């Protein structure tokens, strides 16, 4: 990363880091309502994060991929759901960038902070009506990322969640003395070993991910120019980082004992969120298998 790029990345990360008190304020409400509270959405919109992957042709920021991944990771550290929503929105913006100029401008006629909702599976029907289309259908999830960028962005969510779990457990371990114990968790060798392993998993997964992200082409619409080797390493880095993050969270969840099972515990939320993230097809464990197949000279497949 050049010095200029590092400065820009830091500025974006600091911009979203400043939202931490607001994210904390609305975290429980978002959990209960099952959607992002409007004040939080508006604050995110005002930071410009929804413009990060939007083409400059329509006023978007079109920032470097490493910056986007770091911003998603930071937001996921604050709240996994917030990081996930921003990740999904960024993926939809990448998809939109492949539209012809006229179509792209129509989609973003409301401005570069427009958020697009979409779905992977065509379970609905769009019927022509005067002035447009009437859409009818029901979708369990609204997700779609062009595959070249999806893995690292989803993995960033998992890494942010894992960082939150590590920090939450560290704070707990200094004060909690388990039943039948005579000293705090932090003083116990078993706890120390688990924290060491969790930190190693997080650091190693993150290092491989960012090393790979720095090699990705920076133009939104150049994924067709990726080599198979880079595609394979991107998928492997994303899957490895996400799976490592989940392992780190599991270590912290188990080390906390019964404290981690209650909804009031940050670890409980991290446990649920990180295991949702690892179910995304872009970071599923099957990617590791298929990349192994590629390294054995048997070609790179998107699915079995």
The answer to whether domain 3-136 has CATH 1.10.540.10 is: yes
Percent of the chain with pLDDT over 90: 77
Write out the residue limits of the CATH 1.10.540.10 domain(s) in the chain.
Answer: 3-136
What is the rounded CA–CA span in Å between residue 35 and residue 100?
32
What is the rounded CA–CA span in Å between residue 5 and residue 199?
27
Q: What are phi and psi of 272, to 5 degrees?
A: -65, -45
Write out the residue limits of the CATH 1.20.140.10 domain(s) in the chain.
Answer: 147-295
3-state secondary structure 239-298: HHHHHHHHHHHHHHHHHCHHHHHCCCCHHHHHHHHHHHHCCCCCCCCHHHHHHHHHHCCC
| pLDDT tens-digit readout, 199-245 | 999 999 999 999 999 998 876 655 556 789 999 999 999 999 999 99
pLDDT score of 69: 97
What is the rounded CA–CA span in Å between residue 73 and residue 40?
17
Give the Å distances, CA to CA, from 11 to 14, 75, 80, 257.
Answer: 5, 14, 21, 38
Q: What are phi and psi of 128, to 5 degrees?
A: -65, 135
Specify the fold of 147-295.
Answer: Butyryl-CoA Dehydrogenase, subunit A; domain 3 (1.20.140)
What 3-state class would DSSP assign to 253?
Answer: helix
Which tokens sit at 171? 């704070």
The answer on pLDDT for 38 being more than 90 is: yes
pLDDT score of 191: 97
Our CA angle for 178, 181, 186, nearest 5°, is 65
The answer on pLDDT for 121 being more than 80 is: no
| DSSP-derived secondary structure letter, 133 | E
pLDDT score of 294: 96
């Amino acid at each position: 990363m050049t010095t200029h790029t590092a400065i820009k990345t830091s500025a974006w990360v600091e911009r979203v880091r400043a939202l931490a008190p607001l994210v904390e304020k609305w975290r429980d409400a978002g959990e209960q309502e099952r959607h992002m509270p409007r004040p939080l959405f508006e604050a995110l919109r005002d930071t410009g994060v929804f413009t990060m992957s939007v083409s400059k042709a329509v006023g978007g920021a079109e920032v470097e991929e490493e910056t986007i991944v770091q911003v998603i990771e930071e937001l996921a550290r604050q709240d996994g759901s917030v990081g996930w929503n921003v990740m999904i929105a960024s993926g939809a913006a990448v998809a939109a960038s492949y539209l012809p100029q006229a179509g792209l401008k129509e989609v973003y006629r409301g401005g570069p902070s427009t958020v697009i909702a979409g779905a992977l599976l065509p379970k609905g029907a769009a019927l022509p009506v005067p002035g447009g289309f009437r859409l009818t259908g029901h979708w369990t999830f609204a997700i779609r990322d062009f595959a070249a960028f999806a893995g690292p962005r989803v993995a960033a969510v998992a890494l942010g969640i894992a960082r939150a779990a590590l920090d939450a457990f560290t704070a707990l371990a200094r004060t909690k003395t388990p039943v039948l114990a005579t000293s705090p968790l932090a003083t116990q060798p078993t706890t120390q070993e688990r924290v060491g392993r969790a930190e190693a998993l997080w650091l190693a997964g993150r290092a491989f991910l960012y090393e790979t992200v720095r090699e990705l082409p920076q133009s939104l619409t150049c994924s067709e120019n990726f080599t198979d080797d880079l595609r394979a390493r991107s998928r492997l880095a994303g899957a490895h980082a996400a799976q490592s993050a989940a392992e780190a969270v599991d270590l912290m969840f188990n080390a906390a004992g019964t404290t981690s099972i209650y909804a009031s515990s940050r670890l409980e939320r991290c446990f649920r969120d990180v295991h949702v993230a690892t179910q995304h097809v872009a970071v599923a464990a099957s990617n590791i298998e298929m990349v192994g197949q590629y390294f054995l000279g048997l070609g790179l497949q998107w699915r079995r």
